[in-house]
Amino acid sequence: MSERTLRELLTDGRVHVVDGAMGTMLYGRGVFLNVCYDELNLRQPDLVTDIHREYVRAGADIIETNTFGANPLKLATHGLAAETERINAAAAALARDAAGARAAVVGAIGPLGVRLEPFGELSVAEAREAFLRQVRGLADGGVSGFVLETFSDVAELAAALEAVRSATDLPVIAQMTVGTDGKTHYGTDPESFGPELEALGVDVVGVNCSVGPHGVLEVVEKLARVVTVPISAQPNAGLPREVGDRKIYMASPEYMASYARRMVEAGARLVGGCCGTTPAHIREIVSFVQSVSPRHLTVAAPAPLPATALEPIPLADRSRLAARLARGEFVTTVEIVPPRGVDPSPMYQQVRALQAAGVDAVNVPDGPRAQSRMGALLSGLLIQREVGMEAVVHYACRDRNLLGMLSDLLGAAASGLNNLLIITGDPPKMGPYPDATAVFDIDSIGLTNLVARLNHGLDPGGNALGDPTRFLIGVGVNPAAPDLERELRRFAWKVEAGAEYAVTQPVFDLEQLDRFLQRVEAFRIPIVAGIWPLVSLRNAEFLANEVPGISVPGEVLERMRRASTSGKEAALAEGVGIAREMAAAVAGRVQGMQVSAPLGRVGVALDVLGPAAAR
């Protein structure tokens, strides 16, 4: 397998994770601060390689060489200026050996450590020549790109960029560093340095080191408004605290990872860490960001279908649920969860109760909140065969690569499972097995494209498969998304990819729903509203604070709080009452309802549906 390259990672449209702090790890291994860390590439190569390998094992896609200060000016303070090219070439070779085919290696270049004209004595030409020696060494060592990081002076970074461009055409990540005021040491704000760096022709604009995750998130948000190239973010692990004679970075891996996800949602394509960041931090970041897509993402229109494409089966002929949607009829479904063990009989009992009540279909989620349960596809198949009620199978991208998903879907089509709800899936960190890995080979948009092609009788490569599949293609959408514009763009891409109906996250705010429906009216596909009956104040608070994508307004929380003072039954009755109000209100606004059965309590869902379930 060939080595990964930075250029490949920048063009694949996905989020990628950069490694953490080499200096922090070396210091933790007992290397004193007065030692030249860059010279360790020659004196202790095994130590440097081992640290690189730890970051690769943690899941980093991009590894930086141990050369942040390996320019001739800084090396001269250790009497090593003459070794500049040799040190950089060795560093690149060590990183490549550790990365293998699993990560791309970029040459790390930091500031020279002296001021440039007009604020210092070093000329721009002299700075460019110093950087060029480092660039040549890294290029000779075989890096696939460069990261110019922790710069405060745009002019100095420009000199480093000129050195790179004079020697190679490899891609360049350009990262500034800011203080607590959000500006560089020279007083330049992101709204200024972002467009300046983009105009210089860098491939990625970003920020690193700086003031910890919170401050870097704010910079990413500002950059996202003013640049069009990908954005990178590598914060310190919080602000350091003095403990004895050491500086300790206090941000936990979980805290860093949660902010990394927010940075991606704000627009970052590359995320990682700087001072204080360890492989443990990177491992958590990898787990958190794999389930999100960058906001700065250009999604091409679906490729034209080959001439061998077949006409899809008419919507009304694919399933009973599809027929009702095609006729414009109101549909009701209830979401249950598959069993934890191997006995499906309790699930059958729940489904029979729903069938007797006249519910149109049962929704079977796919490992919600990364819980380990019976697979959704097999659960749906058992329901349809044993009970005779149609299942809507939620199918997540989290656990399978492209080939695995294709195999699953062909099997589902052959067995008569035709109703799909395509989702990206919750990250494993949310579940009881936080060390489990995720795949996320494609996201829900890519999977929608795949299923739409199957409905035309084509595999992902455009090859004929025979008869077309009969999938009813559903997708998720969130009217309460924190970044509604991004959510609407992704929804538009899903519809363009082939989505035929959409199910919302639970609705608790009608005004919010109305604004959303007005924005998506032009897409002209049926919307099914999610309804969640709250069973307790604790349940309401959990949804409001710990479940991504769900927004519970303050007035709803207050109603549950007041009801809970009269006991559990009163709180449950209030939760059902709120859900009934939502169900009655959305009935004239959307084409269906998906009611959740909280904690497996199907009776609660049926209480919410009432007469609507017994049509």
Distance of CA 182 to the CA centre of its chain: 25
Cα–Cα distance, 347 to 380 (Å, whole number): 10
Task: Please report the pLDDT score of residue 431 as a whole number.
Answer: 42
Q: Beta-strand (E) ranges in 62-132?
A: 62-64, 104-109
Task: Please report the pLDDT score of residue 445 as a whole number.
Answer: 83
Q: What is the dihedral of CA 31, 34, 39, 44, to 10 degrees?
A: -20
Task: Please report the pLDDT score of residue 13 as a whole number.
Answer: 81
- Greatest alpha-carbon pair distance for the chain in Å reads 86
Task: Please report the pLDDT score of residue 237 as a whole number.
Answer: 85
Cβ distance 374 to 339 under 8 Å?
yes
Task: Please report the pLDDT score of residue 292 as a whole number.
Answer: 62
Cβ distance 325 to 501 under 8 Å?
yes
Q: Domain 318-530+593-603 falls in which CATH fold? A: TIM Barrel (3.20.20)
DSSP three-state, residue 514: helix
Task: Please report the pLDDT score of residue 413 as a whole number.
Answer: 95
Tokens representing 48?
């440097």
CATH code 3.20.20.220 region(s) in the chain: 318-530+593-603
Task: Please report the pLDDT score of residue 262 as a whole number.
Answer: 87
Tokens representing 542?
């959990």
Task: Please report the pLDDT score of residue 614 as a whole number.
Answer: 42
Tokens representing 168?
């190679």
**pTM of the full predicted structure?**
0.59
Among 171, 288, 173, which residue's Cα sits nearest to residue 234? 173
DSSP three-state, residue 476: strand
Amino acid at 176: M
Among 562, 425, 574, which residue's Cα sits nearest to residue 508? 574
Task: Please report the pLDDT score of residue 434 as a whole number.
Answer: 45
Cα angle 271, 496, 463; round to 5: 95
Q: Could you say which residues of the chain have pLDDT below 70? A: 1, 238-250, 290-307, 367-372, 426-441, 461, 548-549, 611-615
CATH number for the domain running over 6-289: 3.20.20.330
Tokens representing 412?
């589902």
Helices and strands in the chain: count of H runs, count of E runs? 23, 18
